[in-house]
Amino acid sequence: MPNLKEVRNRIKSVNSTQQITKAMKMVSAAKLRRAQDAVIQMRPYSQKLSSIMANVSAGVSIDLSENPYSEERVVEKVLIVCITSDRGLCGAFNGNVVKAVNTLIASKYSAQAAKGNVWVMPLGKKGNDYFSKRKVNHVTDYVGIFQKLNFEEVRKVAEVVMKGFVDHSFDRVELVFNEFKNVATQIVRTAQFLPLQQDVTTTSQNSTTIDYIFEPSKEEIVKELIPKSLKLAFYSALLESNASEHGARMTAMDKATENAGELLKDLKLTYNRSRQASITKEILEIVGGAEALASA
Is 123 in contact with 142 (CB distance < 8 Å)?
yes
Whether residue 122 is preceded by a cis peptide bond, meaning omega within 30 degrees of 0, is no
Identify residue 179 by its one-letter amino acid code.
E
Number of residues in the chain: 296
- Axis-axis angle for helices 93-108, 218-295 (nearest 10): 130
Residues 273, 78: Cα–Cα separation, whole Å: 62
**Cβ neighbours of 147 (radius 10 Å):** 9
- DSSP assignments along 221-255, one per residue: HHHHHHHHHHHHHHHHHHHHHHHHHHHHHHHHHHH
Candidates 80, 90, 237, 243; catalytic one: 90
- How far is CA 191 from its chain centroid? 14
Q: What is the CA radius of gyration of the chain?
A: 29
3-state secondary structure of 149: coil
Task: Verify whether residue 82 is a known catalytic residue.
Answer: no
Task: Kindly list the distances between the CA atom of residue 253 and the CA atoms of 28, 102, 104, in Å, as whole numbers in the listed order.
Answer: 9, 27, 30
- DSSP assignments along 117-145, one per residue: -EEEEEESHHHHHHHTTTT-EE--TTGGG
Q: Which residues are catalytic?
A: 90
